[in-house]
Amino acid sequence: MPNDDDLADALESVSRFLVELAAMSDREQAAFMARAVANGAFHYGLLPEDLLPGLFATIGEVAGEAGLSPEAVAIEAFRRHGYWAEMQEVDAVVILRAVRVQG
């Protein structure tokens, strides 16, 4: 069970993160959130890990395109790497699903 010091450290870490997030530009925030969305697609071990660095770089490029949500940025980045991707609701949780396009 966490003690008071652990909880205080966690709260301080979250507070620092929120300050850093607030200091980001809209583009940086979109890229950050898109990377988090895209990263979730890798948790099941079905996507090659070597895709991640290139995908994250592409997310940085796509995030600059006006008006795209973080989800749309992640989906477009996957598309540019030859994947079909969509947001999908599974048991009241929305996840990004990506599949390599054959051909």
In a domain, 9, yes or no: no
Which residues have a Cβ under 8 Å from the Cβ of 45 and sit 6 or more positions away? none
- Structural tokens at position 79: 């598309």
Tens digits of per-residue pLDDT, 40-52?
Answer: 888 877 889 899 9
- The total domain count for the chain is 1
Range of the domain at 56: 25-100
Indicate whether this model's pTM tops 0.75.
yes
At 26, the pLDDT band (50, 70, 90 cuts) reads confident
H-helix or E-strand spanning residue 78: helix 70-80
In a domain, 43, yes or no: yes
In a domain, 5, yes or no: no
